[in-house]
Amino acid sequence: MKKTRVIEPVCFDKTIEAINHASVHHLKLRSGRMMPAAAFGTFHSDWAQDYMKDATLEAIRLGWRHIDTARAYENEDVVGEAIREAIKKGYISSAEDMFITGKLWNGHMSPKDVAPALNNTLKALGVDKINLYLNHWPWPNVHTPGCAGEHRNPDAVPYIHEAFLETWGEIVKLKKSGKIVDIGTSNHTEACLKLLLRDVPKDERPVCNQMEMHPLMQQTALRRYMESEGIVCTGYMSLGSPKRPGRDTFKEHRADLLDPVIQSIAAELGVSPARVALSWAIQRENKSGGFVAMATRSDWIAEYLKAAMEDLLTPEQLLRISGDDSKEHPGIDANNRLIWGQVFLWPEADGDWRVLWDDSQVFETRAAYQKFKKAWREFHKIKLETTYA
């Protein structure tokens, strides 16, 4: 049976006026095409699945024109319904008015599965092409939806470039066929991207990388590297994902919206801490990146889109959040990663989630990984035989 947490009913306030989407900040992708910098997220964090259609429809009514979806969110069909209803209600004139980002799920990265996966996505959304298609994670590791944090898949593997290039090749073919307009990556680290950029022609490079970014997890160096290669970065969990499920919440995590600097800037400006976090996401680094955020209340949905319209933060306030590597301006970045990705860990990561992100286990070929795996097994056998408990 589907598990849905009982929460207070979601109320959409139709008295809140729509925002003129034309004034939303847009980012120029390397392809020359423009992408609205604010994307409405549709990942349901388990409990809000039943509201995603209405929340998406409300977001479109209020002026959001960029929707972030994924096969893994198991709700592309309701996103499609919301788009069709928005057309019926006259909020948009056709699906072409929307910028839709979709993602290839890990379980569909085998070359034969890529085209069918995209076809299913297009069918569920009710569109014949998608504006931006991201490869969701760098490796094909799957977990059962909603599984516990300690779940491990024995078949999980690290990034193997040879295998990734085969998946990417299929994505490129679908772009050439016209079913995808622009292509990108998600959760790609610097080493994975460097290999990809080394091995594909310029017109087959990703135009965007979606990654975790919020005031306490700024990823400035990685973002600057990507931008130096012409890859636009969009940040997910831009509010610090206050309602993520317990399996993704750890005692080390801090709440962005409760950070004293975010709260004091909110008080100075008379806005919510959430608005400060999103204004920072848009204004930082010379307005070169975007955010994905989600809410199921009309006032929040409207307020968050405004973050991509009005530059609210002064340079001094931006500096208090971002810092500049000086003692005087340390900023508030705390490398507070919320997605540890522990359910994706492969055996040789030895249970250490940081291996997913620190590029210490990135392999160019399947043979190189097999060699490493064999040595690792030997080492572990000896370790078990020789070390004290």
CB 56 within 8 A of CB 78: yes
CA distances to 56, 72, 107, 205, 340 from 145, rounded to whole Å, are 22, 8, 12, 30, 16
Catalytic residue from among 73, 133, 304, 369: 73
Nearer to ligand NAP, 138 or 331 (CB): 138
Give me the residue label for tokens 């307009």.
181
Give the integer Cα–Cα distance in Å for 56 and 291: 16
Scanning 195-203, 240-248, 316-324, 378-386 for contacts with ligand NAP by CB under 6 A, the matching segment is 240-248
End-to-end CA distance of the chain: 42
- Using CB under 6 A, pick the residue from 141, 209, 218, 241 that binds ligand NAP: 241
Instruction: Based on the residue annotation, tell me whether 73 is a catalytic residue of this protein.
Output: yes
Chain residue at closest Cβ approach to ligand NAP: 41
Residue 171 found at the interface with ligand NAP (CB under 6 A) = no
Nearer to ligand NAP, 8 or 316 (CB): 8
The tokens for 129 are 């092409």
Distance in Å, CB of 351 to ligand NAP, minimum: 21
Residue 210 found at the interface with ligand NAP (CB under 6 A) = yes
Residue 242: φ, ψ to 5°: -60, -20
Distance in Å, CB of 211 to ligand NAP, minimum: 7
Scanning 148-156, 176-184, 293-301, 320-328 for contacts with ligand NAP by CB under 6 A, the matching segment is 293-301
Residue 242 found at the interface with ligand NAP (CB under 6 A) = yes
CA distances to 150, 166, 272, 320, 335 from 284, rounded to whole Å, are 36, 35, 18, 11, 17
Residue 109 found at the interface with ligand NAP (CB under 6 A) = no
Residue 141 found at the interface with ligand NAP (CB under 6 A) = no
Residue 75 found at the interface with ligand NAP (CB under 6 A) = no
Q: Residue 298 belongs to what H/E stretch?
A: helix 298-306
Residue at 136: amino acid letter: H
Binding footprint of ligand NAP on the chain (CB under 6 A): 41-43, 45, 48, 68, 136, 186-187, 210, 236-244, 257, 272, 274, 292-297, 300
